[in-house]
Every structure is written in C-alpha cells, then in structure tokens.
Amino acid sequence: MSNSYGTLFRITSFGESHGPAIGVVIDGCPAGLEIDETFIQAELSRRKPGQSKITTQRKESDAFKILSGVFEGKTTGAPIAIVIENEDQRSKDYSHLAETFRPSHADYTYESKYGTRDYRGGGRSSARETAARVAAGAIAKLLLRRVQVEINGYVSQVGDIIAPPYAQLNLKDAESNIVRCPDAGTAEKMIELIDRVRKSRDTVGGIVTCVIRNTPVGLGEPVFDKLHAELGKAMLSINAVKGFEYGSGFEGVKLMGSQHNDEFYNDGGKIKTKTNHSGGIQGGISNGEDIYFNVAFKPVATIMTDQQSVDKEGNETIVSGKGRHDPCVVPRAVPIVEAMAALVLADFMLRDKAAKI
C-alpha cells in the first residue's frame, strides 16, 4: 500500500477511521531535537473535528501518546512512534455502506483493488489518517524552526470567494477566524457560504495557499525529486486534492519569457530576484525566495441528499450521506498542507547534507 513517505526523514502512517487507533512512526529524525509536546497537541487541535460550527461535529480530542524515540525530552535518533486513539466512532452510521459504493468516494476502487474493505467511516481512506501526518509534521516543523523556516498556510478560496494575493495579507491572521483566511472581510463571506452550503445539506470546494519563508538555498534534488515535484506529490496525496501549482502556476502560461523571468540583483551582498514568478524554486532547488503554492480541494463527497449508485452486486440503488461530515474541507486542511510541506522540507534538508564533499 505504500504508507511511508520521505527518504531520510521518513514517516509510516497507519490506522483506520473506526479502528482502535491511528498513528505514525517517524524514522530518521536526527537525535538531539527537543520535543515540545504542547506544540504537537496544538497542531493536532487545528486539524481536529468539532472545532467550530463549519466543521464536522465528530468529537475527538486527538490526544496523542509518544511510545518511543524520545528520552528526557529529546529525540534519540530512534524511531518515534505516535498513537492517537479513536474515541467517537459511531460505526453503525456506516453499516448500510457495507454493500454500497458511495459516489466519488474510494469505496468502489478499494473493493476492486483489495477484494475487501473496512467500510466503517471510510476505513483507511478516511481523512482521519491525516491526523498522523499533522503529528509527524509538527516534529518536522520543530526541526525546521532551528533554521528559521516558517510555513504558513491559509484558505485563499472557498467556492468562488477569493482572498487577495498573499503579499497583501498578514498570514498570522489566518488563525484569527474559523475559516482560516487572513483577510477578515473575505473570511466572513467564506463562513457565510460554508454555512449556507451546510444548511442545504451540500458541500463546497476551496483552495489552500501555503507560503514558506526563509528556506535555505539548495533544498531539492534536481531531476525527479525536484522540490516542487515532491511538494506537489505531498499535497496531491491529501484527501480531496485535485490540483497543485506553485509560483506563477497555471496563470504563468500566458506570460512571455521576458515578463516571467526573475532577474537577479545584489541586495547588499545577498543574491536576490526582483520578481518571484519562480515561486522560490529554480531547477527544482530552492533559491531562498518565498516558496508559495496553491492546493485545490474538491467539494467533500459526502452530501446529505440522495444520489444514485450501485451495490457490490452491481444493482442500482440510492445512497444518502449519514454520519458527521465537513461541509467544506479547507479550514481543517490548512494544518495538513503545512504538515506535508514541513515533511518535504525536513527530508530535503537532511538529504542536502550529502550534496557536496
């Protein structure tokens, strides 16, 4: 199934939505890193369900336990296992799905691939798995902090409501409202939209933008494991993601080279670029400018209205969402996007140590 990610800073995730627990093993975290458990819990709380009226009402404390790899408050170089127990499973909400495939879920493809599936709450395909990523990403963030790397995600679009460009925002304000958009006016409109959609028993998509500052020059591997290629894979591996673009992205295709190129200049002894269409990455390697990218999330597949489907025997049938679900995934996706970005950067930071003699 390939539930591991990363080369030197490598995580292995496990657990189903309605099993006893989910968790993650982090292998390759350098020894000597102080582990701030309060920070890890805070990151998990940014992702956890039930945090506001616009998220699912499933109640999980997402309290975590470290089983290994930390001694007297610091990492030892041994693998760090983290377990988060599932508390508020209501598996009976899902028993009607044992035989039926929900539209735009992973039910049909899992069943086809594996000949079976844990249908309770989506089993392994549930976004609950991303709690493991956030826990591991928190440790990656602690490692990156040591070199001042800052990762800030925020909601830049919900439906057709779009926030101003990131350069006009104070990204720290993202945490000041429940939709995690740093522009207060836009946030209000987004919240209204999500609430309206929720009441109509429907769901809506959105975009998370992420900005990474103070990346050291030289991270990323130049051919297949380009920095943006790994970031892209990391983001596309998050549930419900449909697209990734960095720097000028899809809009950049309309430009001429003379408009798009980022000219170099000497900024008091430091090599900088005048513009940043490159999004902080050239030839797959960080150049020290801001890395910024957009991640597109589709509307959540579980809606509370009737839809046509088929069962395992191929009989046509009607399914309707039960259980507790998010009307829009992007507010809770912000810490997931940041966590995956942190994992990618931490890994490249370690890999870069072997670049030169």
Nearest to 53 by CA among 175, 180, 187, 195: 195
Short-list 79, 62, 83, CA closest to 71: 79
Helix (H, G, I), strand (E, B), or coil: what is residue 168?
Answer: helix
Contacting range for a second copy; rule: CB under 8 A; set: 42-50, 55-63, 165-173, 226-234: 226-234
Q: Which listed residue (145, 213, 277, 322) binds a second copy by CB under 8 A?
A: 277
Q: How many residues does the chain have?
A: 357
Does 50 participate in binding a second copy (rule CB under 8 A)?
Answer: no
CB 326 within 8 A of CB 220: no
User: Is there binding between residue 112 and a second copy (CB under 8 A)?
Assistant: yes
Quick check: 119 and 105 in contact, CB under 8 A? Answer: no
From 49-57, 64-72, 88-96, 169-177, give the range in contact with a second copy by CB under 8 A: 64-72
What angle, 0 to 180 degrees and rounded to 10, lies between the N-to-C axes of helices 330-352 and 227-236? Answer: 150
Q: Shortest CA distance to 97 belongs to which of 139, 125, 68? A: 125
Contacting a second copy within 191-210 (CB under 8 A) = 197, 202-207
Residue of 42, 63, 184, 355 that binds a second copy (CB under 8 A)? 355
The binder of a second copy chosen from 45, 61, 91, 307 (CB under 8 A): 307
Among 188, 192, 213, 218, binds a second copy (CB under 8 A): 218
Please report whether residue 289 would count as binding a second copy according to CB under 8 A. no
CB 50 within 8 A of CB 56: yes
**Candidates 46-54, 88-96, 102-110, 172-180; binding stretch for a second copy (CB under 8 A):** 102-110
Q: Considering only CA atoms, give the Rg of the chain.
A: 21
Nearer Cβ to a second copy (172/312): 312
Cα–Cα nearest to 58, from 146, 126, 6: 126
* Exposure on the CB side of residue 130, measured as CA atoms within 13 A: 26
Binding residue for a second copy (CB under 8 A) from 154, 244, 323, 336? 244
Q: What tokens does 355 get?
A: 């670049």
Query: Which 126-185 residues touch a second copy, going by CB under 8 A?
Result: 129, 143, 146, 157, 159-160
Of 16-24, 47-55, 56-64, 167-175, the window that binds a second copy (rule: CB under 8 A) is 16-24
Contact flag: residue 36 with a second copy (CB under 8 A): no
Least distance in Å: CB of 80 to a second copy? 8
Site for a second copy in 251-270 (CB under 8 A): 252-266, 269
